[in-house]
Amino acid sequence: MRTLEVFNQISLDGYFTDDKRDMSWAHKHDPEWASFASENASGGGTLVFGRVTYEMMAGYWPTPQAFKAAPVVAEQMGNLPKIVFSRTLRKPNWKNTTVINDNIVGAMRKLKSEPGPDLVIMGSGTVVAQFADAGLIDAYQIVVIPVVIGRGRTLFENVKDRIGLNLEKTRAFTNGNVVLWYRRA
């Protein structure tokens, strides 16, 4: 059975995007963080997105700018299989992408039961909340960015029931980012 994991960045006050959907505050790059991002990207798997995050990623990672800034990550992002959950997107514009338009919880249950690489949700707060609420997420890799943004969207908006998690490990970076690895209890 495949696992479903989340990789997401949040502000110190718990938002994954500000109230204008801006995430520029989440990009604190330095050599140590770049090395971690490259190592993390080489882990493989199938990438999972909601439409908004997919369009943001597809607008950046296949570009010459991305290949110059983070060549290993850009190559991995392009080569890995990608699944986009969207009611409106019909034709993806990034290679190795499959679109699922309806019954996303049922579709994810089916994907998890099939053989194949593990699944990793990147960003995509609405998708994270729906899958978390349905008990489908096995693990979370949350990056806490040392910034307070005051208001925005939380990663778990509209989750109805408490979700118990066990902390597996942590790692602090010199740029102030802290990564927390959790597994569902």
pTM of the model: 0.91
> Across residues 48-58, what is the average pLDDT?
93
d(CA 32, CA 178): 12
From 41, 182, 26, select the one nearest 120 (Cα to Cα). 41
For each of the domains in the chain, give its residue range(s) and CATH number, in order of start: 4-184 (3.40.430.10)
Cβ–Cβ under 8 Å, residues 153 and 22: no
* Confidence at 112, pLDDT banded by 50, 70, 90: very high
**Tens digits of residue pLDDT in 167-178:** 999 999 999 999
Q: What is the pLDDT of residues 64-110, one digit of tens each?
A: 999 998 888 899 899 999 999 999 998 899 999 999 998 999 999 99
